[in-house]
A and B are shown apart, each in its own frame.
Chain A
């Protein structure tokens, strides 16, 4: 066992309490993590480091002796990344271990300058490596979260919903760029074929701005749907967007546009020969009767 291992194992409790004190002064985030949990983590990590130091050399960090410490640290950093700690908070968790260990080494080896320096050096190399692991794991976890969110956003952004037999709605949320137009177009056309729908309502209430490029993408989608034999209606045109469209000189004259999704739906029902009829007055608000939709004979 190296000198470093001996010193740590002899002064484990002391180092840990000093470490806790140090963290409480600098980086402890009581809003994100309870004190008990932090104690638990620091105890486990210190044990794992001790195991690593005593079973193999500190510079042989990728060896099997250190696997427990590595895993411990990866778990801790990953959970911190998810909990919303900052990268420096996460790294300081390990780095704040330096001061208590250094002062212990200094006390234990005060008579021997050379040995003290060597031990401090191997200790600082070790802790730097541990800190690098936390940083790497932190970033990897964050990246994982980001890519998962991107995926979810992409899936969320293109729902095609069936409003009625032969009438589809496509609510678009967010800006339409080329990549999304492609996804939206494919999704819409596949659904048109699958459900045999004659009408598709493209709702742009959730599109923040309509410039010439977005309009061009919209027109592409509508033209493709028309080529397949489905008629498109644009709904959810806000007043500002109507003004922008006219100011930019975008030609939407061949496309039916409506202000509200309800208007577009009513038009689609009308065009497919249906009409909405109220069968009786609604008895009360809680048990509202859905108006029956009948096909005109």
Chain B
């Protein structure tokens, strides 16, 4: 299975270290969500992969070979800064861009027709791009990334500015491309979406990959957490329990973390019952948002990385 490897990328702007020995791998047929705060280095990584920026060191490989100028023709790219000719017609523009990627006129035209159809902008083919709404321009931008039938997709925030219907269309398209064998890497701040769509996630912070892995793996990487809804429990009711910490409290509901041992949660349940009725007691799986906050805050506090997470995780066998 070919894979897209980002190997030890480093990039410095003056005194700012934008990428610091960044490595990760995206397998064929895998959707990889690239998450991180603004300025963490997501766009820099993608731009290096597309050759519009040169890395100080490190390299990006596809199928074991460097992703060079020739190979990049097979990449579908959506830059962070959206870019299309404002005064060129949608259809002509897409045909032109796919021809630049090496398609013949006929193939390019039929690909343009197919993708404008799929993305719901078929009626706008004859309009200048600048006459379209921002959402529709975004769809054209995605069509531009897809119209040459790329083997690899690298999309910088493809979902920003899309309405829910377009998000669904876009999600489906990404899944289709991955099912067809393309590695798909995209960045996003919409973590629920990333959680829903991605096979694996990478969280980047200050130019380094803090953690990568399947969302489920990342979730279970923290110590077991339980949700307890005990209306009669006074504040600090878990204080006497060994190895138990309260992570958060929301009204009568608390989330507690217990030691990773069999039946460690039973002591919590007993303590809760002793304060009165217990309405809910369930295993709590942290969302990607919580994980992300956890990662970002822990590192900001200078703490250790997420327990159980590695700097680089091998591609899970598909």
- Check if A and B associate: no
Chain A interface (Cβ < 8 Å from any Cβ of B): none
